Amino acid sequence: MYIELLPDDGLVLQHLLDNLQMVKDLIRSQPEEKLISRCAEGEWTIKEILGHNTSGNYNLSVATSL
């Protein structure tokens, strides 16, 4: 699965930080119009997808820390 795609170098946090920066750079390089446009009727925008993933990850982190 996906875990097999990760480098086995013990630098998990560094890879997470690098990936976060890469995503931030990618999003910031896009015009606002692209981030709020739908590909088709009823589809989510890029901004909506990012918001959904952010809240989902937050909820998961809260649930796993209990």
Contact 28, 37 (CB under 8 A): no
30-41: per-residue pLDDT in tens? 999 999 999 999
Query: Is the pTM value of this prediction over 0.85?
Result: no
At 57 the pLDDT is: 66
Residues 53, 66: Cα–Cα separation, whole Å: 20
User: What are the pLDDT digits (tens) for 24-66?
Assistant: 999 999 999 999 999 999 999 999 999 888 876 666 666 777 6
CB atoms closer than 10 angstroms to residue 16: 10
Residues in the chain: 66
Give residue 46's pLDDT. Answer: 95
